[in-house]
Amino acid sequence: MGTFHQAQGELHGITVVVDTFGARVFVGRCDTVTPEGVVLLDGDVHEETPGGPTKDEWVRKAARVGVWKSFDREVVPAGEVSSIRRLGDVGPG
Amino acid sequence: MPYDPVLVQPMRDELSRIGVEELTTREAVEAFMEGPGTKLLVINSVCGCAAGQARPGVALALRHTAKPDRVGTVFAGQDLEATERARSYFADYPPSSPSFALLKGEKVVHFVPRHAIEGTPAEAVGLDLVNAFDEHCE
């Protein structure tokens, strides 16, 4: 999470992809990055299941059109976060 | 709750002074959308992370030879009914602001969501629109 602290100001207000070590991946507007986790606003979450879209497929679709908001505010616990990047940097595939 | 109109006015002016038609009512949006030509609809926004690049990007793109027949704008968070009506024409796309929709008639041929504008220099925002104008406009 150390690098996230450095990126906090840079990512504030930016739409980001927060991937986790588990089956879930989040897209939302980054509010803050704290030792507790990443606070996202106005976003959506996808859980990969057998037969459904992979996390990568879901993120690439999000990169093409955006996401339908399913939460106003969500905290992704720091221990679950595997990566955070700008949605705008994801190729639509 | 809509923003203070005084705060928003300079952001409106930035587009209206380059000839972008302000659509502040549902009826104005519907009138704008009538007809078969090409139209660029700009969803304007207060958002500092993206709108600051979006408006200059539109201004740069509109200097290009090929451009839409009409260019209009609604202001998200301010002109609520007009924005809702505008978004109904591209209801397959999740709402975001700022954003751009280039339409032929009522068909969306190019859409630029907010996340594609965030952190992108105005020149690149404009170039993306120019490329879409070259492909879809005369």
Structural domains of chain B in order of their starting residue, each with its CATH number: 5-136 (3.40.30.10)
pTM of the model: 0.88
Please state at what angle helix B51-61 crosses helix B122-136, rounded to 10 degrees: 40
A6, pLDDT greater than 50: no
Element at A5 (helix H, strand E) = helix A2-11
Is there a domain that residue A1 lies in? Answer: no
pLDDT of residue A91: 77
Lowest mean pLDDT among A83-87, B5-9, B44-48, B86-90: B44-48
Q: List the single best residue of A14, A17, A42, A70 to mutate versus B (max B Cβ within 10 A).
A: A14
Taking the CA of residue B116 and the nearest CA in chain A, the distance in Å comes to: 5
pLDDT of residue A45: 98
- Catalytic site positions of B: 47, 49
Give the CATH number of the domain where residue A38 resides: 2.30.30.100
Quick one: average pLDDT of B16-30?
97
- Count of structural domains within chain A: 1
HSE of B81 in the Cβ direction (CA atoms, 13 Å)? 6
Quick one: average pLDDT of A17-39?
96
A5, pLDDT greater than 60: no
A7, pLDDT greater than 50: no
Taking the CA of residue A24 and the nearest CA in chain B, the distance in Å comes to: 20
A40, pLDDT greater than 50: yes
pLDDT of residue A92: 65
Task: For B94, list phi and psi in degrees, rounded to 5.
Answer: -60, 140
Q: Do residues A70 and A44 lie in contact, with contact meaning Cβ atoms separated by under 8 Å?
A: yes
Domain with A78 in it? 8-85
Is there a domain that residue A80 lies in? Answer: yes
Nearest CB to B93: which of A63, A65, A88?
A65
Residue A9 contacts B, CB cutoff 8 Å: no
Cβ separation of B111 and A13 shorter than 8 Å? no
Each residue of A54-74: pLDDT tens digit? 999 999 999 999 999 999 999
Quick one: average pLDDT of B28-47?
94
Cβ separation of A88 and B118 shorter than 8 Å? yes
